[in-house]
Chain A
Amino acid sequence: MISLSSYLIVSFALFLCGIVVIIARKNIIAMLLGMELILNAGALNFAAYTRFVNQNLDGHVMSLFIIIIAAAEAAVGLAIVIRFFQIKESIHIDDAVELQS
């Protein structure tokens, strides 16, 4: 009953949720939450393909790297948000417009 497609559907829905969060939210931290969802969807796909298509574990290693990159991204991203907040006293994305010069 459970096949590759069920995992793909779950991962796809996760990805869509992440997209909606990133687009709909105007709060930088909330957008970072959405980013985490998207990265998770990607890592889940790697693991699912590893299980159902070929059983070598390179996919797992790839997922591991994705998780690590997500953690690093969250660390740096949140640091930027905090720095931004110290300067502008706001974490609204529209206030960050001037970052793109």
Chain B
Amino acid sequence: MSHNLDVYMPVLILAAFAAIMFVGALLVGKLLRPHNPTELKVSPYECGEVPIGTAWSNFNIRFYVVALIFIIFDVEGAFMFPVAAVFKRFVEMGEGGPVLALLLLFISVLLEGISY
């Protein structure tokens, strides 16, 4: 059964590879590149102006609403994926009608949300 799990191995290897590549490049670069930060250089770039305050301040609430709608849709998508995957099978068995009705009901509820 560990054989069946092997399909996840490339995922881990790729992630490890990315990390190694990143850290390695930074380390190699450390040997090669100059390092002499000055006060001006390390200040945030604001077209030469001296920055006022920090950038971590309030933002428009609209961003949050976008994220909110997104997460709801994301979750509904997660719900619909398995149903979508078996939909064709049901149709071939001649029982597509009820499943289609369920799916349409689901989507219509979703549409109400977006129309809101």
Contacts and interface: CB of A to CB of B under 8 A. Distances in A.
Direct contact of A and B (CB under 8 A): yes
Interface of A: 64, 67-68, 71-72, 74-75, 78-79, 82
A75 B79 contact: no
B61 A75 contact: no
Contacts of B74: 71
Nearest to A69: B75
Nearest to A78: B64
Interface string B83-106: 000000000000000000000000
Interface of B: 61, 64, 68, 71-72, 74-75, 78-79
B68 A72 contact: no
B77 to A, nearest CB: 11
Contacts of A78: 64
Contacts of A68: 75, 78-79
Contacts of B79: 64, 68
A64 B78 CA distance: 9
Q: Top 6 A-B pairs ranked by shortest CB distance?
A: A71-B75, A68-B75, A75-B68, A71-B71, A75-B71, A82-B64
Contacts of A67: 75, 78
10 contacts: A64-B79, A68-B75, A68-B79, A71-B71, A71-B74, A71-B75, A72-B75, A75-B72, A78-B64, A79-B64
A64 B74 CA distance: 13
Contacts of B64: 78-79, 82
Residue among A64, A68, A75 with the most chain B CB within 10 A?
A: A75
A92 to B, nearest CB: 17
